[in-house]
Structure 1
Amino acid sequence: MTNKVSTEERLFNGALRAVARQGPKKLAMSEIASEAGVSVGTLYRYFSSKDELLDRLGHHFEAKLQGVLEAEIAADPDPTKRLQIVIDVMLRFFLDNPVTMQLAQLEPGFMLGYVTNSKRTVSILLRGVLEPALAGSPAITGGVVTLDEVVDLIFRVAFSHYFMPGDSDYRKLRDVVVLLSISAGLEPGKTRGRAKRSVAS
């Protein structure tokens, strides 16, 4: 099982490098195999086509993101730090995979398709890890914002960061987003009330 996982990881990384070099339309299985350092026969034992590999690439990153989030939360389960942990992981996840940052610049259409296809799965994941910490926060209990809106904001900030990276350390952006969230009443344990959001008639 370890060899299978290791080989798949090499194949996915090889596919990313090949897409960054050739673009998804011109991508050939032989180029993916070459980038991954395996034979074409080995590649076909794992994936029957380029389209299957690219489709599963999205699921591969979703699973990796889940693993990173779960590990970070297990290392520091304090609910008062959950929002910062989630935002930190979301902002740095693809920074830890530099080829994906290159793809966002060279093949924005390809990456936009990935982001669109992953939004539902990633949003469910983020909601699951944030709900235990934020469900009782003043902003949510007071009707200022819903948990789904918080998740959507984090998702959009994270992925806009990949398409339009700033010049500074990502942690500065993380700290600003966390600070704004806390100011809006999303910090667990705070008791100050907030007026419900008005709806324009």
Structure 2
Amino acid sequence: MPQLTVDALNPPGTKAWRLQTDHSWRKARFAEALQEGDFVTPDPEEVRPWLTGRLTKDWRGRVTWEAAPGRTTFAPGEISLHAIAHRSQPAPVPDREELRQVIAGTDTSARRTLCLHLNGRFLLCRPEEPSPAGDPALAAYGDSLSGSAYLGPEATEDDRYIAEQYRNFLSAWYHHLRTGRVGIYAGEPLWDSSAAELAERIRAWEPDG
């Protein structure tokens, strides 16, 4: 499992900060490599409360964090907070057969969101749960699905549908590995490559440092 940090980014994307172990914030390059003193944890639940807070900057350029219970999005012009995943080992290629099995074993009357965990395993989440966008436990997520065309055994008989889902999630997984970002939308491909090409890129990927 990767280590997680909390990074903050200003709206233009020109300035970034990282949470420290003493709960201060240092200036940083967004998603940069780990440095001594950075707050870091393998547990997404330790990161989650920080992501729902609010970061403000005073006239001296110092930033401070305050709790903002219940918030789900950032307002225009507001500093945004992000979990960043840092890996020290190569990552697995998500398994197409596992994707098929996860879809096949789902109740077609339910509405579920297909997701990819940080460990590279497929799972289905309830859409009424907190938004998967930016979720520190997830590498990627797809659209909310329901009905036999998208969930259940009948859906897995559509090879084109399974191939499209698999390629989209491989694309998001590769983007996750390259950027450290979490909770990436996988409803469409982020890289103009085939599933086979993406799998090769994932196998060849090595963590920085």
The alignment's TM-score, normalised by the length of structure 1, stands at 0.26
Q: Which structure is larger by alpha-carbon Rg, 1 or 2?
A: 1
Query: 1 or 2, which has the higher strand percentage?
Result: 2
Query: 1 or 2, which has the higher helix percentage?
Result: 1
The alignment's TM-score, normalised by the length of structure 2, stands at 0.25
